[in-house]
Structure 1
């Protein structure tokens, strides 16, 4: 040890001139950045060394890059607190391609054979279709394809490759689950701060820039936490609530049951303060699906018996209407009394007329932000889809949206088959929660574009591939899987 310390001191002493030179150049560079771009330069000066270290670590270990990606899809939401000149969203693209490059550098350690997975084939077919859409003759401005294809298919395709070929361990799965639930808990706390304490200056500026029209209804704030909007936040909270509820059912220890029950209450109230009505269907669809996964018919019947009176209470009475959150949930169950839902149906009727002779759609990138930016004269830029599936219908046509829904159904079927083969208790409860949440979020895609937004899309991209290859961490195959170098025993975790 003493010899190593002496060697290190000698190396530092011999290269002191080099470190001094590099430090001086860095200081000059920081001064130049600040003089040119102001506070943004100071932020870049702090972030640049961290970014360089992260790049080095990702190149050495692709698994680390996957962890960074999962954190980054949540950090993107903080962009409203940063200078507009910092391209936070584009950083996700750069990270994914950096991880992909690292996979090839470390190719000998990667498990490329897993790309033969049926789930990856489904995603690959969808990705190929979106690539062909680049040549859609109806597209008014073809380069806009690059803006929307990332959320449509590219990111899912890239993340699928990473999750499949990286030799992920059971402990890695635990880290991913804990990261997601921890971020969700912090998001709920931040929403409570918005609801009961107040907004920050940046959040108020964001509302004043035009978002108040959708986030302040009848004088009530729809909390959005540090997510892109209230709909995204509500969907994530509903998904986290569902996963926490499944863990209450699955855990054997009273201590852990109580812990996840508290988490479920926190997440559920986070969903409630978001005012996102459609997120209720994540729970309505996801929990019965979880009971079906367990093949527990008595509990399914008991759940229906308990749920029906609650729905009837919301649909046909005014109990709790004085509470804004309860009233928002009630309106989700009576959509034909909601002017915004009726407007959606009217918009879809208009689109049906335009798309009647366009089986492949108007082209990827023609609606929402892409259409407003690149082809504002086109009809697709003037009709709000207000739905993930409707947006896909507009841009990829009835052929595209049908193919996409078939992919989702196929992923669910693959997931059911794989989960039902599991023997490991810990892995069963993790995958039950993931698969039930996926079903709930997919159903919510009819009313909101949450499947194409951070952080929900990042969580879904990772979890679907974990479900499709969950056999990797099953105890019965521990001896045959080189990626599992741990004891089959497990400790309860988040």
Structure 2
């Protein structure tokens, strides 16, 4: 028997007739979802094709993901502040995971050289990540959600971003691009901060202030500028960090117009640091400049810089010059041992010392600070403000974990100094010196504030480490070129000698011929 078939194919005319009602239904459905879930739905519809295109480009060229990570780390907080309804902070995790997938599954195995991750920096990152994972079993019983959100800035981004940078972002032109992006977005942040100070925050920023941030960002009626960063402390520290980097570059052996550009960028970042009202940022500046002076190999510069630093300290400590400027007046309080804020911090540290005495492994990752308040409100440590990244590491990991972490930081700093000291290429050396001086500043600044674990400072430090440790490989071409020069010069000299001999012989023969004639 033949199977029955029904003529169910649609004619072109019927399809065109259904197109308009279908579009209307889709539009109505999108509008209803948007009314229920906010701007996220139309944003997804618009962004989905773009996301697919970006994903295809990422898997074809994974190094684009490193560039996207650098840019996103600067803009994530202002995106999160202006667009509600999605956890944009997790976008940093997503970018890094996608880049790793692109590297692992890329058809061309030469895209990433895995031999570059066989170094001390990546091994230390792995070790610190493993220690952080072990902290899940801390007897204090901290929340796993608090652990996850806290460990991202503490170790996760280090663990993921450093090997990626070493495999994908390892050339001299990549270092140039990295510095360009960091300086560009930092200067843009300073300019945005000046706009914020002159015209006030926009509606989304004002809402953030009204939601509780005003108590720390409006002091005596003066706004502590935060630009498009997470808050004023991170803005000020990051501006001081990049101010040091630009200052070191401005003093380097570059073309005159580049040094002028670096000098202007350094001055703008210094102004950004001042208008943030972040007192701890001053120590980022001082420590970074000191490191530059030590590694500059110039005794005169070291002596002169030290004298200027002592003079600036004396002006801030023992005079009232500049007190009419609120930013200068607030910076001056950082040198006052009787400052009320400092006394509160010392009392909090005394409480922590008593609590952590019998707990050498701390209270667990994520138990103190913002994530402690949100996910570990039942724990004693969540009621104490750390006010310092050093103190936070001590509270979470205990004295054992803190000594391990601090030892790692000193090792990385010491090895970075050794690498910079031996670099022969003067341009490369100045760039790596700028990154090392910046890291020194951020490390010391983290004693007073949470800086190293916040974006974009964490990203700049981690990728900066990668470039410094890649320094010997980047310097190899310069060393080889200059090793060939003595050989070439010797060959040229030998040829010149032969030419002289030939000239003398030919000259003598010609004279003899003339005499015989």
- Answer whether TM exceeds 0.5 for this pair: yes
Cross-structure match for 1:397: 398
Report deviation, 1:164: 1.9
Q: Deviations over 1:322-370 (max 9, x none)?
A: 1111111211222x12101110000000011110011110011111222
What TM-score, normalized to structure 2?
Answer: 0.85
Q: Deviations over 1:55-110 (max 9, x none)?
A: 21111221110000001101112135433212110111111111111111127122
Cross-structure match for 2:477: 476
Report deviation, 1:112: 0.8
Unpaired runs of 5+ residues, structure 1, are 1-16, 481-494
Q: How does 1:173-252 map to 2 (within 5 A)?
A: 173-252=175-254
How many pairs align? 460
- 1:243 and 1:433 in contact (8 A); partners too: yes
Cross-structure match for 2:87: 87
Cross-structure match for 2:381: 380
Q: Deviations over 1:404-453 (max 9, x none)?
A: 11111111122122222322222111111111000100111111111111
Report deviation, 1:24: 6.8
**CA separation in 1, counterparts of 2:185 and 2:162?**
22
Cross-structure match for 1:172: 174
**CA separation in 1, counterparts of 2:40 and 2:479?**
50
**CA separation in 2, counterparts of 1:41 and 1:141?**
32
User: Of residues 298, 305, 308 in structure 1, which corresponds to 2:307?
Assistant: 305
Q: How does 1:326-341 map to 2 (within 5 A)?
A: 326-334=328-336, 336-341=337-342
**CA separation in 1, counterparts of 2:276 and 2:169?**
38
**CA separation in 1, counterparts of 2:116 and 2:385?**
40
User: Of residues 128, 139, 158 in structure 1, which corresponds to 2:141?
Assistant: 139
Report deviation, 1:140: 3.6
- 1:246 and 1:432 in contact (8 A); partners too: yes
Structure whose alpha-carbon radius of gyration is higher: 2
Would you say 1:280 and 2:282 are equivalent positions?
yes
Cross-structure match for 2:407: 406
Report deviation, 1:247: 1.4
User: Of residues 150, 153, 158 in structure 2, which corresponds to 1:151?
Assistant: 153
1:102–1:339 distance in 2 versus 1, CA, 3 Å? same
**CA separation in 2, counterparts of 1:201 and 1:473?**
47
Would you say 1:319 and 2:312 are equivalent positions?
no
- 1:118 and 1:414 in contact (8 A); partners too: no
**CA separation in 2, counterparts of 1:372 and 1:24?**
47
**CA separation in 1, counterparts of 2:81 and 2:378?**
33
Report deviation, 1:27: 6.2
- 1:423 and 1:476 in contact (8 A); partners too: no
1:246–1:48 distance in 2 versus 1, CA, 3 Å? same
- 1:136 and 1:363 in contact (8 A); partners too: yes
**CA separation in 2, counterparts of 1:327 and 1:371?**
33
Report deviation, 1:399: 0.9
Stretch moving more, 399-408 or 43-52:
43-52
Unpaired runs of 5+ residues, structure 2, are 1-15, 482-517
Would you say 1:96 and 2:96 are equivalent positions?
yes
Aligned to 2:449, the other structure's residue is in SS state coil
Report deviation, 1:269: 0.6
- 1:148 and 1:365 in contact (8 A); partners too: yes
**CA separation in 1, counterparts of 2:379 and 2:436?**
39
**CA separation in 2, counterparts of 1:138 and 1:314?**
44
Stretch moving more, 302-311 or 180-189:
302-311
- 1:365 and 1:395 in contact (8 A); partners too: yes
Report deviation, 1:46: 2.3
Cross-structure match for 1:42: 42
Larger RCO (CA under 8 A, 6+ residues apart): 1
1:27–1:92 distance in 2 versus 1, CA, 3 Å? farther
- 1:191 and 1:224 in contact (8 A); partners too: yes
Would you say 1:347 and 2:348 are equivalent positions?
yes
1:40–1:300 distance in 2 versus 1, CA, 3 Å? same
- 1:112 and 1:165 in contact (8 A); partners too: yes
- 2:292 and 2:434 in contact (8 A); partners too: yes
**CA separation in 2, counterparts of 1:48 and 1:24?**
18
**CA separation in 2, counterparts of 1:131 and 1:326?**
43
1:170–1:376 distance in 2 versus 1, CA, 3 Å? same
- 1:286 and 1:439 in contact (8 A); partners too: yes
Report deviation, 1:25: 12
Aligned to 1:108, the other structure's residue is in SS state coil
**CA separation in 1, counterparts of 2:429 and 2:415?**
15
What TM-score, normalized to structure 1?
Answer: 0.88
Q: Deviations over 1:133-163 (max 9, x none)?
A: 1111222434432121111111110001201
Q: Deviations over 1:347-406 (max 9, x none)?
A: 000011110011110011111222222221210110000111111111111111111111
Report deviation, 1:479: 7.5
**CA separation in 2, counterparts of 1:296 and 1:26?**
74
1:119–1:133 distance in 2 versus 1, CA, 3 Å? same
RMSD (Å) for aligned C-alpha atoms? 2.3
**CA separation in 1, counterparts of 2:432 and 2:248?**
10
1:173–1:339 distance in 2 versus 1, CA, 3 Å? same
**CA separation in 2, counterparts of 1:301 and 1:173?**
31
